[in-house]
Each structure stands twice: as C-alpha cells, then as structure tokens.
Amino acid sequence: MTSFKTIRARAEKRKGGPKALEKLMPEKPDLKGLAKRGDDRIVAEMTKRVFCAGFAWSVIETKWDGFEDAFLRFQPAKLTFQPEDYWEDLLRDARIVRNGAKIMSVRDNAAFVQEIAREHGSFGRFLTKWPPSDQIGLLELLSKRGSRLGGNTGQMLLRFVGWDGFVTSRDVVACLRDAGLDIAEEVKSKGDLAKVQAQFNAWAEETGFSYTYLSRICALSVGENRSE
C-alpha cells in the first residue's frame, strides 16, 4: 500500500502547496462540542441527511426553517408523543418535502435517539465514546436501529455532527484503489468497508491525523474532487 506521506504530497502538489492544502481542511472533530449537542439537534441532522439523500441539498436548505417548524424543532419527546393524525397531516404540509417514508423516518429516529440517550445520557455522549477505529460498527448500528441511516447517509450524518470519521466518496474510493486497496468502485459490501476501515486505521497510526483529516486529504489527492 502507498504510504500516506506520498498521498499527502500529491494532494499538496495538486492544490498549490502545503499552506493551500491546509486551508481546504475541515475543522478538527470537537468531541466536547459533540457531547454537549442536544438530542433535538441530532434528530434534526438525521432528518436533514435523510431528506438530502437522492435530492438537491439546496432545496432542503432553502426549506429548512419550515422543517424546523413542522417537526416541532425536532424535540424527541414531542415527536414520539404525536398521534397518527399529526404525521398524516405532514404529508400535505408544503413547508417540507412531502415524502411519506422519509417523514415517518423522523418519528422512528426520534425514538432511536431517545433509546440511546436513556442508555448513555445523550446521543452526543454516546457518539464520543465510540472509537473512530470501528466506524463500520457504528454505521451498522445506525443502519439497524435507526431509520434510513444506512450507507452514505450514515457517513454524512457522522461528518455533519462532528464525529471523527471517513466518507467513502468517489474521490476517497479512487484514492484508496490507487493506493493499492482491492475494493470495488462503489464501497457497499461489508468486506469492502472492513478493508477501508483497516486502511484508515493504518494511516491514522502512521500519521497521527484524525480520520476526517485523512479522508479529506485522500479526496483531494485524486479525481475531480467532488464533495467529500
């Protein structure tokens, strides 16, 4: 496998040098901030990622204030207490994108967040305790216990709430394949995810960098640099 030093050097060359590359790096994961994040904000981010999946993100962002109002500011206790009529009315609510399956995922994910919060104090605290070296285990939990949080949606959720992890975007996968990792062009199987996890674990040990940092540099080292 190619060393990460080589990958970073290539990214620096493509982006105009070390300082220019550094400006493109994401903020460092903030575990203290994540631990303090309210469960309502976790449900909100879950909802945003679910609705953004397969849809124009700009549309969701434009309507987001409407989402906040329609979904009661994403307070888990309020959402799980609502009767069926409330959820049926949302199917006709112009403030949001009226996708029935995604609307019902909000109720399911509010219940999921409540369950985790009862076990760990809050969902944010739960996430801070989960090691980046086992991101695939966390993604499996999100997929099984949450609603519509599998695949890339789960990865983007973790990225947007500030958890330290990788994203298997096209450019990241292209970087991994170029480095010698035997995985498919689209990482979907458990076997490929395990290989990706092992490689990021190795690079984290090699460099001491966060997984978020490694993922971004990897993405910028190859391809057309789509969103990562």
Give the predicted TM-score (pTM) of the model.
0.94
Q: What is the per-residue pLDDT across 104-150, written as a single tens digit (0 to 9) for each?
A: 999 999 999 999 999 999 999 999 999 999 999 999 999 999 999 99
Q: How far apart are CA 122 and CA 15, in angstroms?
A: 40
* Count of beta carbons in the 10 Å neighbourhood of residue 161: 21
Q: What is the per-residue pLDDT across 162-201, written as a single tens digit (0 to 9) for each?
A: 999 999 999 999 999 999 999 999 999 999 999 999 999 9
Q: How far apart are CA 106 and CA 104, in angstroms?
A: 5
Q: How far apart are CA 148 and CA 214, in angstroms?
A: 27
Q: What is the per-residue pLDDT across 200-210, written as a single tens digit (0 to 9) for each?
A: 999 999 999 99
